[in-house]
Amino acid sequence: RRELRSRMELLIMETQAEVCRALAALDPGASFAVDSWERKEGGGGISCVLQDGEVFEKAGVNVSVVSGLLSEEAARQMRSRGKSLKAKDGKLPFCAMGVSSVIHPKNPHVPTMHFNYRYFEIEEADGTKQWWFGGGTDLTPTYLNEEDAVHFHKTLKEACDKHDLKLYPKYKKWCDDYFYIKHRGERRGIGGIFFDDMDSPSKEEVFQFVKSCAKAVVPCYIPIVKKHCHDSFTPEEKLWQQLRRGRYVEFNLVYDRGTKFGLLTPGSRIESILMSLPLTARWEYMHNPPESSKEAEILEVLRNPKDWVH
């Protein structure tokens, strides 16, 4: 239990349970399908997915702890980010663990939310271990509500500020840059925080930072769901939600690093990797919302990210 790997494993399990309990309390008529799986190459995980509830159309909270040998494609992807990985006989033993969630609500006035916190360890040819943490939490509203955006960002900023005042602005910008749909010229949502390859100042300090971020998930999001889950909406607003979800799918399948890593890892569980995709989405040819509309308002923020906390 004193080893950091064990403590991280405990943290991701606790986070999964905490988030599932909070979601189930808001959607009591629905239930999570709990699916334990094993990976023959090493490790496994637990997927908890709620579908077709009154509040949530699809909400998944997954944990996985896997180990084995890194595939050549995955190693190439890491080297492209500047990792110098020295393999022994072409082999790189690794251990990866994390908790990942995507929540797609039914009501278009409740935003989609995603979070992921993970730990990675690789053993190189000489026996030395490279380790790093990554993760983040971000919000994807269909319609812009400034009060919600400020609450979401302020809660994440408070979690970051406990550790270093420089972290929130740095990781907020990283989030805006990472969740960028290049072929559309817009962000996936209104951001939050995102970081990767975090391996300093020390393993313990980074773990405590990740723990603070994981503990901020419920307070940054659940109050927004409670506030809007019974809002009335029109068929036109539901249609706009479906179109925005199409963008969510485009980002996840074309750019998302976690999806790519999962698809490149032998023995990975495809159902869990693609859990992030919404139950329903829509692509209309050449759809453009009218100028000065509520739909155009959110597009403006997605094209030009805002500072929500100052």
Query: Nearest to residue 104, comparing CAs of 249, 227, 250?
Result: 249
Q: How far apart are CA 38 and CA 31, in angstroms?
A: 23
Residues 6+ apart with CB under 8 A from 27: 50, 53, 54, 55, 56, 59
| Active-site option among 109, 114, 151, 228 | 114
Q: Is 230 exposed, middle or buried (0-12, 13-18, 19+ CB in 10 A)?
A: exposed
Q: How far is CA 76 from the centre of its chain?
A: 23
Q: Give the DSSP per-residue string, 149-216.
A: HHHHHHHHHHHHHTT-TTHHHHHHHHHHHHTEETTTTEESSSEEEEEEEE--S-HHHHHHHHHHHHHT
- Encoded amino acid at 287, one letter: H
Tell me, what amino acid is at 194? F
Q: How far apart are CA 210 and CA 196, in angstroms?
A: 11
Q: Is 114 a catalytic residue?
A: yes
Active site residues: 114
